[in-house]
Structure 1
Amino acid sequence: MNSVVLVGRIVKDPELRYIPGSGTAVASFTIAVERDFLKKDGTRDTDFINCEIMGKSAEYAATWCLKGCLVEFIGSIRVDAYEKDGETRYYTKVSGNKIHMLAKPGKKENSEQVAPSEVPKDSFEYGAVDDPDIPF
């Protein structure tokens, strides 16, 4: 099973683009994730992991998950290959399914909107039905 959960800070604002033809949103960004062990000098190493997410989650990330935000990113590892100068090169990234903002880096001036902690669900929600013809 290929499953990844990252918790870290976004290094710079996500780059949002749209796939030609389909118009699907794609956001690319890097997350700085501290390793879970201390070195002898008491510091931690940090890994910078390239991430990508698509659809409404990409638009959410580009709007709300800006540089410095602490996020939880859930996805899977992808290894892509490309050729340069006749040599095959490999590129590893995490392709995301979900992103949740855990903490903002600080308040922006003149910002009155409150960011949702995750991608909003569809506007349709199930609720109680008040119909006497339904037996349950």
Structure 2
Amino acid sequence: MNNVVLVGRLTKDPDIRYIPGTGTPVATFTLAIDRDYKNKDGSTTTDFIPVELMGKPAEFCANYITKGRLVGVQGNIRVDRYETPNGEKRTFTKVAARNIQALESKGSAAPNTSNDNFEAPVFEPSGVVSPSEFSAVENDDVPF
């Protein structure tokens, strides 16, 4: 199973590009995530995790998520392999995200962001069924 959930702050505004031919939006950004322990000197270590997001969540990200915002990201770990022009083989690890959610309003983000009181909408993927839409199956032919 390859599943990851991260909570962190964007280090800069997301970069958006579109895949040629299909026009699918792709947003890339880096999350800064503090480790949950302190070093001997009392400081914390921060990890910088590259994230790639495609489709409608990428458009949401480009329109509403800015540098310093606290977000939650769900996806999986991807390891890309490539070869440099010099023939060296390299690997690059990133999170291929499926969902993103802003965890704070724009006005309560880091001090260097704008101070208008705009609340970003929560991105909900289409096709999600709420528990109230399920109904019990009452069928004696069900084998369990």
What TM-score, normalized by structure 2, do the two folds share? 0.78
**Which residue number in structure 2 is paired with residue 129 of structure 1?**
none
Note if 1:119 corresponds to 2:119. Answer: no
Pick closer, same or farther for the CA change 1:15–1:70 going to 2, 3 Å.
same
2:114 corresponding residue in structure 1: 108
Partners of 1:50 and 1:26 in 2: CA distance? 13
Number of residues of Structure 1 aligned to a counterpart in Structure 2: 123
Question: Aligned in 2, Cα 1:119/1:42: closer, same or farther, shift over 3 Å?
Answer: same
Q: Distance in 2 between matches of 1:42 and 1:98?
A: 34
In structure 1, stretches of 5+ residues that fail to align are: 127-136
Cα distance, 1:119 vs. partner? Answer: 1.3
Structure 1 residues 3 and 59, CA, compared in 2 at 3 Å: closer, same or farther? same
Gaps spanning 5+ residues in structure 2: where? 131-144
SS in structure 2 at match of 1:41:
coil
Q: Structure 1 residue 65: deviation in Å?
A: 1.1
For the aligned residue pairs, the C-alpha RMSD in angstroms reads 2.1
Looking at structure 2, the residues matched to 121 and 83 of structure 1 have their Cα atoms a distance apart, in angstroms, of 35
- Paired position in structure 2 for 1:98: 99
